[in-house]
Amino acid sequence: MQKKWELKENGDKPAFLKSGEYNSLILKLLANRGISTQEAVENFFSFDYFISPNLFKISGISEAAERIILAGERKEKIAIFGDYDADGVTATALIFETLESLGFNNLTYYIPDRQLEGYGMNEKALEFLQKDGVKLIITVDSGITNAPEIKKAKDLGIDVIVTDHHHIPEILPEAVAIINPHLENSGFEFSDLAGVGVAFKLAQALYQKIQPEKIDQLKWMLDLVAIGTVADCVKLLGENRMFVKYGLVVLSKTRRAGLQEMFKVGRIEISENNIPDTQKIAFQIAPRINAAGRMDHASVSYKLIIEKDKAQARLMALEVESKNQERQKITAEIVKEIEKIVARDFSDKKFIFVQNPHWPVGILGLVAGKVADKFGKPVVIFQAQETEYVGSLRSIPEINIVEVLEKCSELLSKFGGHSQAAGVRIAPENVGQFCEKMTEIIEMELRGKEIISTLMIDLEIKVEEITWEFIDDLKKMEPFGMGNKEPVFLLKNMKVVDARMVGNGSKHLKLALKSIDGNPKIFDAIGFKMGEEFPDLKKDDLIDIAFNLSKDEWNGSKKIQMKLVDMKIAG
């Protein structure tokens, strides 16, 4: 899709910061993110790992810790009930290992099958756990919407502790304790934690209650917290920023044989001398962890994460790698298939809906995301099953998809999600009416609006402002992610000194660029997958570029590199 470029407003930097303590460009970037007071700026740069003195003011955390301790004293069997995505898998491993390290040994875990069970608790799972002798369930990254199931657990003689971070429903479950930062008066100092972040709070409370002298050991769990937090796309501000910054360091020296073997098999360059960034998690680690749940069962990834034997971990890592490659191949095939359907049937429609009984449930969300990005329209992709249709939806910024779903709720068996991503289950006889009503609502909301993908540019800068000092200051803004995205810069009228296609299939565009204002600096720029888009670009062409800035180090040498986000012929 053609992108519209929009430059963010750059107000004057605050008067109290005109002393030169901070780079003025960095201050403008922060101001764009709503960080403009002296306290906010200092907090942004001066965070450290700490355990909040207000930990036990969190609603439900004392009750949860006491019930878990009681289960230990009674030698009751405890089950951690998780979820099949990277956030849920890491949270499951974190609580399991925490309890294990604190001396609990009557433990099990349960992660539902994405295809057969879907998200959250279900009665068959509860009946299975009861037969297994479970007396206490701790949910992670799930549970808040499971009021009927938690009542069923109570009837079966099982207590439930809910740790979750999802939207609070009208009816809360009757659990022993609910720990969720979105509860009213939750006691959390930062409310945008991932499921694994909430689980980490419970782990801290358990250590404080049982072995406070060993609580520093929990730092070694921050690799899991970083993976789950980045994978779940929560805002990397506040505590999340601290969890991820220190979690990336722990990840670089992780003791986990499973992760070490995943890095080797997947050729992911992470070591003590090569601390990863959030991109490594988002595009290399999280997709591999998610692949098992998408193509088979998430327990494959869970077992890999907790495996201590190197030889066994190697075999598991190879299996996960195979699942990830299979996921990539099938996703690409289905996207191509749907693109043909969209071109034929939906060119004049505002909402895309397609179904197939053979498309795996686990990759419907990935496919829907790619289709929504390509066509700039909300999408639902269904797997048509015998008794119900299971669907994943992805939206565009102009449409809050959950709000639209709420207007169609009478037609749905189950739904949930966020403004831009959701899931539904629906009876076959309601599918046609559902798609008609969704189309009608979306078309009404988009009436008169021009839908064009917008690239937000943080700052227009000059060539002479791109210095090593600026690159170093920029690095202090990491970790980048949701809520603190890697800045996008704009340079106009850059002359192409050299242009060539590189990479497998010549997909990528490699440029040497300089300004037309006489500045002698020449910059390297790389445009990934831009080769086909600009096949005729040649020497001496003038272009405007939107880009990220980074340091490129290779064989002991370093240079400043521009990573192209988008590009236009100047003028």
Query: What was the pLDDT predicted at 17?
Result: 57
309 has a pLDDT exceeding 70: yes
- Per-residue pLDDT averaged across 63-75, rounded? 98
Record the pTM. 0.89
**Lookup: tokens for 514:** 């300089």
What domains can you pick out in the chain, each with its CATH number?
Answer: 55-247 (3.90.1640.30), 346-451 (3.10.310.30), 455-569 (2.40.50.460)
pLDDT tens digits, one per residue of 91-134: 999 999 999 999 999 999 999 998 788 888 999 999 999 999 99
385 has a pLDDT exceeding 80: yes
Burial 214-246 (b: 16+ CB within 10 A, else e): eeeebeebbbbbbbbbbbbbbbbbbbbbbbbbb
Residue 72 contacts by C-beta under 8 Å, 6 or more apart in sequence? 102, 103, 104
Selection from 369, 313, 299, 364 nearest residue 83 by Cα: 299
393 has a pLDDT exceeding 80: yes
14 has a pLDDT exceeding 80: no
Query: What was the pLDDT predicted at 13?
Result: 54
pLDDT tens digits, one per residue of 509-521: 999 999 988 888 8
pLDDT tens digits, one per residue of 155-197: 999 999 999 998 888 899 999 999 999 999 999 999 999 999 9
Selection from 391, 392, 389, 383 nearest residue 430 by Cα: 389
Q: What percent of the chain has pLDDT over 90?
A: 74
pLDDT tens digits, one per residue of 313-350: 999 999 999 999 999 999 999 999 999 999 999 988 99
pLDDT tens digits, one per residue of 18-52: 556 788 899 889 988 888 888 888 888 887 888 88
Query: What was the pLDDT predicted at 359?
Result: 94
For 419-556, strand residue ranges (E) read 421-426, 453-457, 459-460, 489-502, 508-515, 523-527, 542-554
* 379-384/523-527 β-pairing: unpaired
pLDDT tens digits, one per residue of 473-489: 999 999 999 989 999 99
**Lookup: tokens for 286:** 């999280």
Q: What percent of the chain has pLDDT over 70?
A: 97
